[in-house]
Amino acid sequence: MSDPVLRLENVRKSFGDNVVLRDVSLDVAAGECVVLIGASGSGKSTLLRCVNLLERVDDGVVRLDGEDITDPRVDADRVRARIGIVFQAYNLFPHLSVLDNVTLAPILVHKVAAEQARSEALAMLDRVGLAAKAAARPDSLSGGQQQRVAIARALVNRPRLMLLDEVTSALDPELVGEVLDLLRELKDDGLTMILNTHEMGFARQVADVVCFLDGGVILEQGRPEQVLGAPAHERTQRFLSRLTH
């Protein structure tokens, strides 16, 4: 088997006395979709932020394609250029048009020629069904549309790994579907991704691996039908039963 795209080895992260990640190890293979579940504050978001170096780990190693990206000698900007992230609150740049949001990183970071960046961005917006909104400002779009622009903005850089942090939590229920449909297509295209979600039905459909985070460790990990269908751990059972009520 080939090397994993991402490997976490005994990662630890605390904020003051609050130890959020105690000892987390995880492998993500190419084309794999890993879904993180767990209660609020269980460290799901912190884990994603550690992977793209928005947070500095206290201990342990994060490897991207075998390279130790937690080494202080590593240029964080260069690493982040290879990882895409989508946030819960979209985080689009409100002063830029939809198109300019998508072309910003290709032009500034990846040095793509403006004309080519434009055509690639339009193709990507077409891919997420929003080519008609290229000239619009983000705040004139619905939440679901904004989140699809955010996904296009991350995808256009052809990331090695995509991180999706509660991407449907801020959306109205009737808008959740359009975003999940898009993610399902990306998964079928072979994109490697890690996502946090509370959508257990969606997790069951797209996940290759489901990880249940609790107390700063991955308490249970396995196929979705196993972790979600027949959880071995008592805490996992309790978490899942609370969700269905």
Closest CA to 125 of 91, 102, 97, 157: 102
Residue 27, SS3 per DSSP: strand
Looking at the Cβ atoms of 94 and 201, the one nearer to other proteins is 94
Phi, psi for 220 (deg, rounded to 5): -145, 140
Site for other proteins in 15-44 (CB under 8 A): 17, 19, 22
Kindly state whether residue 188 participates in binding other proteins, applying the rule CB under 8 A. no
Looking at the Cβ atoms of 19 and 240, the one nearer to other proteins is 19
Kindly state whether residue 89 participates in binding other proteins, applying the rule CB under 8 A. no
Looking at the Cβ atoms of 10 and 241, the one nearer to other proteins is 10
Kindly state whether residue 172 participates in binding other proteins, applying the rule CB under 8 A. no
Q: Minimum CB separation from other proteins for residue 40, in Å? A: 20
At a CB cut-off of 8 Å and minimum separation 6, what does 165 contact? Answer: 44, 45, 48, 85, 86, 87, 88, 195, 196
Q: How far is the C-alpha of 199 from the C-alpha of 207, rounded, in Å?
A: 11
How many other CB atoms are there within 10 angstroms of residue 220's CB atom?
20
Quick check: 143 and 170 in contact, CB under 8 A? yes
Kindly state whether residue 14 participates in binding other proteins, applying the rule CB under 8 A. yes
Site for other proteins in 40-79 (CB under 8 A): 58-61, 70-73
Looking at the Cβ atoms of 17 and 77, the one nearer to other proteins is 17
Residue 112, SS3 per DSSP: coil
Q: Which residues bind other proteins (CB under 8 A)?
A: 10, 12, 14, 17, 19, 22, 58-61, 70-73
